[in-house]
Amino acid sequence: MITSKLLLKSLNNMQIIIAENKEYLTELDAKVGDADHGINMNKGFKAVKAKLEDLADDSCDQILKTVAMTLISTVGGAAGPLYGTAFLKAAGVVKGNSIDDETLVEAFSAAIDGVQLRGKAVQGEKTMLDALIPAFDVFKEGIDNGLALEEALEKSVEAASEGVEYTKTIVASKGRASYLGERTLGHQDPGATSSYLLLKALYETVRED
């Protein structure tokens, strides 16, 4: 179960991990995109962090909705509407001051649906979905089989990391990177990498709790 307090802590840690990897994400994006993913994500999560204090007494759905609207209006690149829609769809599934594990599976699923709806991408196109979909599949399987949240998240993060590695072996067909076509081979996708980092921050927050 994730309480609203733990959710806020996770978001705070997401901001930290994105800030720490700002240059790294931008370097990755310089190879396949327009070299702004780290800068944009950092802008977005800094704006999220600035709002966390005011959200202390809010429900999980209100928190997720605020995160969504903040990312949508501050990121600037495609990641804004993509992650924004993901958080917004997740907000539509949860309710109240805590998210139980089954609801978290539903929220994760809704978030991925949101990314797919917005980006019109499928797995294998060198996007954040290549980290998110395997991470979700493993997470759902873990929770369905009775794993504790921490363990299910650990496996999920591993799957996301493998998904990031997988993006090195495929060619981009969506977004700015698609202009480079075959030349994107060998490079890992910055969006998949930021998705992995966000999941890692969630896992580490749950582990430390």
Partner 1 sequence: MVGIVVVSHSSKVAEGVVDIAKQVSSTVIPIMAAGGTSDGRIGTDAMKIKDAIEAVDQGNGVLIFVDLGSAILSAETAIDLLGVDTVEIVDAPLVEGVIATSVQVTLTNDIEDVKRVAHESKNMNKI
Residues contributing to the site for partner 1 (CB under 8 A)? 36, 40, 43, 69, 72-78, 80-82, 84-85, 118-119, 175-176
**Contact 156/142 with Cβ under 8 angstroms?**
yes
Those residues whose C-beta lies under 8 Å from the C-beta of residue 72, and which sit 6 or more positions away, are 80, 81, 84, 85, 88
Q: Which is nearer to partner 1, 73 or 169 (CB)?
A: 73
The distance of closest approach from Cβ of residue 81 to partner 1 in the complex, given in angstroms and rounded to an integer, is: 4
Q: Count Cα atoms within 13 angstroms, Cβ side, for 10.
A: 24
The distance of closest approach from Cβ of residue 148 to partner 1 in the complex, given in angstroms and rounded to an integer, is: 35
Give the distance, in angstroms, between the CA of residue 89 and the centroid of all CA atoms in the same chain. Answer: 13
What residue spans of the chain are helical by DSSP H?
4-20, 22-32, 37-52, 60-74, 79-91, 101-119, 129-144, 149-166, 190-208
Q: Which is nearer to partner 1, 119 or 163 (CB)?
A: 119
The distance of closest approach from Cβ of residue 79 to partner 1 in the complex, given in angstroms and rounded to an integer, is: 8
Q: Which is nearer to partner 1, 47 or 147 (CB)?
A: 47
The distance of closest approach from Cβ of residue 25 to partner 1 in the complex, given in angstroms and rounded to an integer, is: 15
